[in-house]
Amino acid sequence: MDYHFLEINLICAQGLKPPAGFRRAQAYAVAWVDPAFKLRTRVDRTGGENPTWNDKFIFHVPAGFLADDSSSAVSVEIYATAGWILTDSLLGTVRLLVGNLRLLSRRDGCPVFDAVGIRRPSGRLHGVLNVGAMLLRRVPLVAAEVLGACPAVSYLSLMGEKGFKIRRRQAAAPRDDPAAGKDPALKQWNGETISSDGGVEAEEISDGRVVPCGPCFLGFPRRIHRSPSDQILQLSSTEESPGR
């Protein structure tokens, strides 16, 4: 069976109505093709009725899912956070009919954008969700490894798994070392991609920085928190310095 990499970008929502008792909603969205594999955006802390996420997901779907006459859809639910104790409130749902986007007739890497009405829990349409979609000919190697075990992955989760290790490798390399930042593992993470037919392709990288693979990859600002092991390493280096 022919499969494709479908990228969905949840850009932003407009005209969300905050739930009762909320003066300002802090919203996030959950998207899925298979209910067993749901993906979540970050929480928008400042958008209120017009949250912005710009978070992207990759779904590994059969060609029939994308057919023009298919009734298959990407489902999205939008929630308002309610803290640690209360349950998050459902603001609305969206059903994006992928067949209406005519993705199979477009070349790979060519995005299409749509604004879909948000249906409130009462059943009324209120607000819109701005979404982008496109087919990918290949994906980063780390994404392909995840997609081999489950049919969906988010770029945020990939950065959460790899971002801290890469930053530590770059920070540990001496500044005067010409090979600094060119760790072989880092090259493999950035330089190889998996095509939709399962083949491995290599791309040249000019330096050791984290290089997006293809036009679909959007860099997300992410705060890196130190782990307890980092504190132990820092303490050990401080204790050893007086004896040098």
CA dihedral 211, 153, 110, 135 (to 10 degrees): 130
The burial class, CB within 10 Å (0-12 / 13-18 / 19+), for 38 is middle
State phi, psi for 171 to the nearest 5 degrees. -70, -30
- Pairwise CA distance, residues 206 & 151, whole Å: 32
Q: What is the pLDDT at residue 242?
A: 52
Nearest to 51 by CA among 18, 95, 98: 18
**pLDDT, tens digit, 9 for 90 and up, residues 228-244:** 444 443 444 444 545 44
Beta strands in the chain (DSSP E): 3-14, 27-32, 39-40, 52-62, 73-80, 89-97, 112-119, 125-136, 138-140, 152-154, 192-195, 200-202
pLDDT at position 155 over 80? yes
**Would you say the pTM of this structure is higher than 0.85?**
no
pLDDT at position 196 over 60? no
Q: What is the pLDDT at residue 17?
A: 86
- Pairwise CA distance, residues 121 & 17, whole Å: 11
List, by residue range, all CATH 2.60.40.150 domains of the chain.
3-136
Token pair for 238: 């401080």
Percent of the chain having pLDDT more than 90? 45
- Pairwise CA distance, residues 162 & 146, whole Å: 12
State phi, psi for 108 to the nearest 5 degrees. -60, 140
Under the banding of pLDDT at 50, 70 and 90, the label for residue 194 is low
Under the banding of pLDDT at 50, 70 and 90, the label for residue 207 is very low
pLDDT at position 67 over 60? yes
Tell me which of 75 and 108 has the higher pLDDT.
75
Q: In Å, what is the CA distance from 6 to each residue of 9, 60, 87, 139?
A: 10, 6, 31, 10
The mean of the pLDDT values for the chain is 74
- At the topology level, CATH places domain 3-136 in Immunoglobulin-like (2.60.40)
Q: What is the pLDDT at residue 87?
A: 86
Three-state SS at 52: strand
Q: In Å, what is the CA distance from 75 to each residue of 32, 41, 195?
A: 5, 13, 26
- Pairwise CA distance, residues 101 & 149, whole Å: 27
Neighbours of 207 (CB within 10 A): 8
- Pairwise CA distance, residues 137 & 4, whole Å: 8
Under the banding of pLDDT at 50, 70 and 90, the label for residue 206 is very low
